[in-house]
Chains A and B, each alone.
Chain A
Amino acid sequence: MSGEIAIIGTGMTKFGKHPDLSLEALGFEAAGQAMRDAGVRPADIQAAYCASALAPQLLGEFTMGQKIFWELGINKIPVVNVENACTSGSTGFYLACLAIKAGAVDMALVLGVEKMYTRVKKILDAGATDLETKLGFIVPGTFAMRARSYISKYGLTPEDLALISVKNRRHGFLNPNAQFREQVTVEDVLSSPMIADPLTRLSCCPQGDGAAAVVLCRADLARSLNTRTVNVATSVLMSGSYDSPPHLDSWPTDMRAVEKAYGEAGIGPEDLHVIELHDAFTIAELIHYEGLGLCPAGGGGELLKGGHTSLGGRIPVNPSGGLLSRGHPVGATGVAQLVEIVTQLRGEAGPRQVPNARVGMAHCMGGDLQGDTRSVTINILTV
């Protein structure tokens, strides 16, 4: 895929509580921004993807893409609505890349949008009919069990885990689109209410409303459009294996997906300058460090405590603030990560800019099932 596809426009709303904005309004704002940023017209978009993980459940809505894109003057083209848990948005991007790579379309729009602050109060679970859900498992609980396994195996402490929240809040403080812009201390994280031991409230990402969008096209067209182009080196989507391994300290699909991504992009982890990854809970970021090959098994604690993944460190992770600070409107997250990497590679990230960033990765993970993740996406972008 290297060199065939380019991102030419991005847009996103601030993440947070938007009581006065509907799902359509959020999507309209982000998608419109992305098209203006790309300098394209509605008629230029030949396929469009709208990702939302929870709209049918929380809002009773469906085929949101058609409603939102129609408002933007985009019609009479293939529109696909995408649900793939937390990877919904990045799965939409993957599908758009496939369509361009196949030569079916020259230019596509990908929108991720979610509205979670609704009258329906719902605790996120693995799906109503899952045995785990019926036994009382909830999403933070599943990650808490991984946290206990990981920290007991590698001799870390809850204080070490809390440093992930502290770092990502410090980054989010610099991001005007982040939901949380207040910094926190290790003590704040540990003294916030316990959700699922050892994960406290400040160890978990918040719910949120928000939208993010990108316009992508054939790379040769991008050059003639003369915008601030970012190349897509590879886009990978992979499901899990679900064979209930007798350990909980990795997601095997991380390794499989990243191996394919590095192979296709012709790079290794040492070539990355900036990463956005799926820190839905503090522990997830540590486990993904290993999954992406940033450190050997058990080395996540050292990488974190040494400041190597902070802004200013060797390989900054989640400069946007990540899910923990930027927020996690589920369907929008995968696209928001891409928007952050594009912003970094364009050199437009302001106070949170990673100097001279030329190669970036967006990693997203959707759900946990029988010891593996349901879905992983890896997108590597370059300039």
Chain B
Amino acid sequence: MPELIQQGLWDDSPEGKVLIGSCCRECGAKAFPCRSVCSRCCSEQQTQTPMARRGKVLSYTRICIDVPAVDEAPYLVGYVLLDDGISVPARLKYFDVNPDVGSAVVFEVGVTGKTAAGEAITGYYFRPERGGEEACQER
């Protein structure tokens, strides 16, 4: 079993894997990763809720130096604005050309890093909404 980047970040849904965020029962504020106390109203009444699988690239960068915890170089990281209005940090994979700010992307779970011993770490990433799907399945 590959190691997980962090417990509790995503779950299964009828559409496939989705990020899990928290939603405040008092004021409706959403957060990712889940919080136990609302940062807006301080309520402890938090439910866990599946986040949108689709979103748009808010911004991104290509990291061009070797980073020991990452399995590839160069690689893309970005912030994705999910369709439900929350921005999340993410890896971006399977982009043949650099995305544009605003490009449509879809959530996936997969290898995003390696341990100090070189073993794969399972994390999450977003791929292009069109074009990336086949490439992704081939792998």
Interface residues of A in 178-237 (CB under 8 A from B): 193-199
- Structural contact, A248 and B81, CB atoms closer than 8 A: no
Contact check: which of B9, B67, B68, B78 meets A145 at CB < 8 Å?
B78
A136 at the interface (CB under 8 A from B): yes
| Chain A interface residue number, banded | 20 to 34
Asked if A195 contacts B87 (CB within 8 A), the reply is: no
Within 8 Å CB of A132, what residues of B?
89
Q: Does B112 contact A136, Cβ atoms closer than 8 Å?
A: yes
The answer to whether B94 has its CB under 8 Å from any CB of chain A is no
For the complex, is A70 an interface residue (Cβ under 8 Å from B)? no
Q: Which of B36-76 contact A (CB under 8 A)?
A: 39-40, 58-65, 67-70, 75
> Contacts of B33 on A, CB cut-off 8 Å?
131
Which residue of chain A has its CB nearest to the CB of B125? A135
Decide yes or no whether B128 CB sits under 8 A from chain A.
Answer: no
A135 adjacent to B91 (CB under 8 Å): yes
- Which residue in chain A gives the minimum CB-CB distance to B72? A136
**Closest A-chain residue to B29, C-beta based?**
A243
Cross-interface CB contact of A244 among B5, B31, B78, cutoff 8 Å:
B31
* A-facing residues in B1-44 (Cβ within 8 Å): 5-6, 9, 29, 31-33, 39-40
Given A145-B78, A246-B81, answer yes or no on A196-B62 (Cβ-Cβ < 8 Å). Answer: yes
The CA of A338 and the CA of B75, in the complex, are separated in Å by 38
Minimal beta-carbon separation of B127 from chain A (angstroms): 15
Q: A134-B123, A135-B123 are in contact. Are A246 and B85 (CB under 8 A)?
A: yes
Tell me the nearest residue of chain A to B31, going by C-beta.
A244
**Cβ of A366 under 8 Å from chain B:** no
Residue of B nearest to A199 (CB): B61
Which stretch of A19-27, A36-44, A146-154 is in the interface?
A146-154
Whether A136 contacts B62 by the Cβ 8 Å rule is no
Query: A136-B67, A136-B91 given as contacts; is B39 within 8 A of A197 (CB)?
Result: no
B87 in contact with A145 (CB, 8 Å): no
Give CA–CA (A71, B24) in the complex, Å.
Answer: 54
A145 to B113, CA, bound (A): 20
Is B135 positioned at the interface, with any CB of A under 8 Å from its CB? no
Flag whether A62 is at the interface (Cβ < 8 A): no
- Name the CB-closest residue of B to A144: B61
Provide the bound-state CA to CA distance between A237 and B33, in Å: 27
Q: Could you mark each residue 77-101 of chain B with 1 if its beta carbon is under 8 Å from any beta carbon of chain A, else 0? A: 1110100011111110000001001
> In the complex, how many angstroms separate the beta carbon of A22 from the nearest chain B beta carbon?
27
The closest CB in chain A to the CB of B123 belongs to A135
Contact in complex: B90, A148 (CB < 8 Å): no
Interface contact A135-B112, CB-CB below 8 Å = yes
Q: Report the nearest B residue to A249, measured CB to CB.
A: B59
The docked-state distance in angstroms from the alpha carbon of A377 to that of B68 is: 33
Question: Is the CB of A371 closer than 8 A to any CB of chain B?
Answer: yes
Contact B101 A123 (CB under 8 A): no
Minimum C-beta distance from A324 to chain B (A):
18
What separation, in Å, do the CA atoms of A198 and B29 have in the docked complex? Answer: 33
Contact at A245–B61, with CB atoms within 8 Å? Answer: no
Of B40, B59, B123, which one neighbours A148 at CB under 8 angstroms? B59
Q: How far is the CB of A223 from the nearest CB of chain B, in Å? A: 46
A181-B45 Cα distance, complex, nearest whole Å: 56
Determine whether the beta carbon of B39 is less than 8 Å from that of A145.
no
Alpha-carbon distance A134/B61, docked complex (angstroms): 16
Closest 6 CB pairs of A and B: A144-B61, A145-B59, A197-B62, A136-B70, A149-B59, A194-B64
What are 8 pairs between A and B in contact, CB < 8 Å?
Answer: A135-B112, A145-B59, A146-B59, A148-B101, A194-B64, A195-B64, A197-B98, A244-B86
